[in-house]
Structure 1
Amino acid sequence: MERDSRTTWEFNGSFHQPSAFLMLGIPGLEALHPWISIPFCALYLVALLGNCLILFVIGRTQSLHEPMYYFLCMLAVTDLGLALCTLPTTLGLLWFDLRRIGFDACLAQMYFIHILSFIESSVLLAMAFDRFIAISRPLRHPSILTRATVAKIGLAIVLRGMVSLLPIPFLLKRLTYCGRTELSHSFCFHPDIMNLACADIKVNVFYGMVILLSTVGMDFIFIVLSYILIIRTVLSLATREECLRALNTCVSHICAVLVFFIPMIGLSMIHRFGKGVPPLVNTLVAYTYLIIPPALNPIIYSIKSSHIRGALLRALRRSSGAAW
């Protein structure tokens, strides 16, 4: 039936764009959406409060004004953006069954979700580079990663994401869409929208794959290479205590890399090759990719970084003292 519908649209040659798409919640569990919204609300609350707290603590603590924590601020801002991008449509669907999203609004949400994902990938690469310099060239670290250099890296990361993804909305707007308007998630993804088109989508598929491999794919490869070099440097250290101390500074970053890249790779594989994957699995992987990292990253860094933990405790003591 789907193939016949596509053939009919292509034969007629008529150009059609839907006024809106219909978002789907968790397949098979629609009746439980009000209850399912409770853990989602908790995750969004943790993501918003946790990342705001990270920004507040680093901004107020002079001793944390270092490259590692500047990059952590970039990560926190990116995680806040990701959470805010999906929060309105996800909670609107779970709470009020608001399924419609305008065509242009969907493209805008998709654009920002993908930009922020690419920016997060690049920030994780910058943090890996910072750890490599800090461990292999500790004396030159302050002169290599100055504030000006960190600012330039941040600007380059943002421009890279914006420019590389700029053609995507225009490539989608040129397509003719069939009668189907149901998206697979409560937010807009490029592969999800692209697969609703009746026209030839080879250009979209090719460009999306090239951009993904040349940005996120290359980031992941360089992160792995950075840690290979870090491990080589650590193994050359004199004592076991020095090795453990050097590796301990990387644990939180490694956790953040795994939390971000594993669901992202899984979701990309499902969208491109997982035609027989149950819809529930696709939905859970997508939510894991977009909601779990923003919620977990502040917790990971608060637990593993003694400097952030100490600054946070001092800030809480000052607040409680002022209240008394």
Structure 2
Amino acid sequence: MAPTTSHLFLLSGIPGLEESCIWISIPLGIIRIEFHGCLAQMFFFHTFSSTESAILLAMAFDSFVAICNPLSYTVVLMHSCIIQMGLAAVARGVALVAPLPILLKRLPFCKNIILTHSFCFHPDVLKLACASIRVTIIYGRALILCSFGVDSVFIVLSYTLILKKFWALLPGKDGLRHSTHASPILSLSSFSMSHLLSYP
């Protein structure tokens, strides 16, 4: 698999995940949703978000191998490896998000608060609870740090090594023209910070 082919293969997963998040969030805006439907919606939305973050990490790794070690690219990133990375991204998303509905199902809900999003967003649902939500808040923040936080660190590391390689090959101002890898870093960091700051 050529470097551009695998990168495009990984990139093709992001629009599908974005569409899934959009279609999952639509029912709440159209009709009233029951509690179990809200939990299912929240589970799938957060699972797809975590999977998208992992795919951005896989793309960063793909770019790192293609640029910093191009001779071993076809050995390191074979078709089976790309498929395993995709499956690991989905499995990680499911494993990290699965406890959220379980923790929420144990809470009593009595408040009548208008949700700030058009879907069942975890921090919004927590505001409806009348019991202590400390454990759920701690798990929600740990989930963000374990998925988006860890992914952000490795993406920044990967693109830092890529830029270091560019600057070594292209000294002077020419190296700055190739610093186009900031968009995945900025999008993931803004996404994770907005999630982290939305918890009460």
Q: Same fold (TM over 0.5)?
A: yes
Give the C-alpha shift of residue 63 in structure 1: 7.9
Give, as a single letter, the amino acid of the residue that structure 1 aligns with 2:19: L
Match of 1:272 in 2: 199
Match of 1:261 in 2: 189
Match of 1:73 in 2: 12
- The alignment status of 1:126 with 2:58, answered yes or no, reads yes
Structure 2 counterpart of 1:187, from 119, 138, 155 = 119
Between the aligned partners of 1:222 and 1:169, the Cα distance in structure 2 is 28
Distance change (3 Å), C-alpha of 1:145 and 1:161: same
Alignment: residue pair count: 200
Q: Which has the larger radius of gyration?
A: 1
SS at match of 1:101: coil
Between the aligned partners of 1:222 and 1:124, the Cα distance in structure 2 is 10
Q: Which stretches in structure 2 are left out of the alignment for 5+ residues?
A: none
Give the C-alpha shift of residue 231 in structure 1: 1.4
Give the C-alpha shift of residue 75 in structure 1: 1.5
Between the aligned partners of 1:215 and 1:263, the Cα distance in structure 2 is 12
1:7-46 aligned at under 5 Å gives the runs: none
- The alignment status of 1:109 with 2:37, answered yes or no, reads no
SS at match of 1:196: coil
Between the aligned partners of 2:133 and 2:36, the Cα distance in structure 1 is 19
SS at match of 2:33: strand
- The alignment status of 1:84 with 2:11, answered yes or no, reads no
Between the aligned partners of 2:173 and 2:75, the Cα distance in structure 1 is 26
Give the C-alpha shift of residue 154 in structure 1: 0.5
TM-score (norm 2): 0.89
Q: CA RMSD in A?
A: 2.4
Map Cα deviations across residues 85-133 of structure 1 (whole Å, 9 max, x no partner).
123434x2xxxxx4x2111111111111100110111111111111111
Give, as a single letter, the amino acid of the residue that structure 1 aligns with 2:5: E
Identity %: 38
Give the C-alpha shift of residue 243 in structure 1: 4.0
Give, as a single letter, the amino acid of the residue that structure 2 aligns with 1:80: E
Distance change (3 Å), C-alpha of 1:239 and 1:264: closer
Higher relative contact order (CA 8 A, sep 6+): 1
Map Cα deviations across residues 38-83 of structure 1 (whole Å, 9 max, x no partner).
xxxxxxxxxxxxxxxxxxxxxxxx9897210111122222122112
Distance change (3 Å), C-alpha of 1:178 and 1:88: closer
TM-score (norm 1): 0.57
Distance change (3 Å), C-alpha of 1:83 and 1:257: farther
Give the C-alpha shift of residue 239 in structure 1: 6.0
